[in-house]
Amino acid sequence: MVRGIEMNDKNKNVDNGASDQIEELDSVNTDEELLDQTSEIDELKKLADENWEKVLRLQAELEILGNEP
C-alpha cells in the first residue's frame, strides 16, 4: 500500500491514506473521456456560432423593418 504525506496549515504531517488516493484516481479522466468531452465542446461551439449568425441576421432584419416608412 502506498501512502502520501501532505503538510497542513499548521505544518504537521497529515496522512493521506489509500482511500484518498483512490478517490483522486477515480476523478482523473481517461483519454477516451477527454476525446468525448472535446467532441462535445466542439459541437457546442458550432451550435453557438450558428445561433449567433441567426441573431445577427434577425437584428439586421429588424433594422430594415424599423427603417421602412
CA 47 to chain CA mean position, Å:
16
Number of domains in the chain: 1
Q: Is the pTM of this model over 0.85?
A: no
The 3-state secondary structure of 3-44 reads CEEEECCCCCEEEECHHHHHHHHHCCCCHHHHHHHHHHHHHH
C-alpha dihedral (22, 26, 31, 35), degrees to nearest 10 = -170
How confident is the model at residue 67, as a pLDDT? 85
4-60: pLDDT as tens digits: 555 555 555 555 566 666 666 666 678 888 888 899 999 999 999 999 999 999 999
Which residues form the domain of 26?
A: 4-67
